[in-house]
Amino acid sequence: MTQTKRTAPDTEWVLMYRQGIPTPKIAAVAGVAETTVRYHLAIAAKLDPRIRAEHQAALPAALPRLTAAGQRNLEDVIAFYNTGGRLPIFSHSAREKALAVWLHRRRKDAAQGTLSPAYADALDVIPDWRKPSAKQADDEARWTQRLAEVASYRAADNDWPRHNKTNDQSERVLGVWLHVQRINDRAGKLDPAKKTKLDEIIPGWRQGRARRGANSRPGSADSRVTKLSHKPF
């Protein structure tokens, strides 16, 4: 049995979208993939950008709306993509880095099924936005690997790895990674999900080594916060 080829944009799907029906539900009713519906809606939005506003206005009042900051970030991400043909990454530009952090959180919301439909429908016009960049995926994999390595290091009856005052390069690598997690935690920049993993897998990671003797005083080498890059390892 052959399927009838639909001309894009499909008028029925566009009408359903205007009425506030979310993309996944349209796809389920039509018996097609969500990506197919998004493709049609993306074309419709180019022909008439008002359909997004009409969709938002038709949403039930109980559904979450965009905050002013969220709306600004959303518009900036879409503008960034339309201008440069890519999504923001963790770069030296403060604004691009902020947008990358915001987008990273929206990806997590999407993966957990808690992403606001308002964000989802607007961002879904960007192909594969839900997939992290290769660099971000590598950073996440490296973070998970370092966590496992610190756990193994501690399981071998070692004290917490040091980031200085050691000639053991392997220990230093783990110590620097752990030191950065502590710095980010104090600055309120540590991802809550990562903080939970740290607490579960290596409890006591915030305190580190116990102070020994009077030499471990405030201002000593062991108590100073070394300025390190916050780039994930």
pTM over 0.95: no
User: Measured between alpha carbons, how far apart are the two ends of the chain, in Å?
Assistant: 52
The residue among 47, 67, 80 whose CA lies nearest residue 118 is 67
The domain limits of the chain are 7-63, 66-130, 134-201
Q: Specify whether the CB–CB gap between 132 and 107 falls below 8 A.
A: yes
Residue with tokens 């993993």: 197
The burial of 17, by beta-carbon neighbours within 10 Å (0-12 exposed, 13-18 middle, 19 or more buried), is given as buried
Q: CB under 8 Å to 174, separation ≥6 — which residues?
A: 146, 149, 150, 153, 161
Task: Provide the pLDDT for residue 61.
Answer: 55
Q: Which of 71, 55, 72, 60 is nearest to 16 (CA)?
A: 55
Burial class of 193 by CB neighbour count within 10 A (0 to 12, 13 to 18, 19+)? exposed
The Cα-based distances of 156 to 150, 160, 161 in angstroms read 10, 11, 12
Q: Which parts of the chain register pLDDT below 50?
A: 1-2, 62-63, 214-233
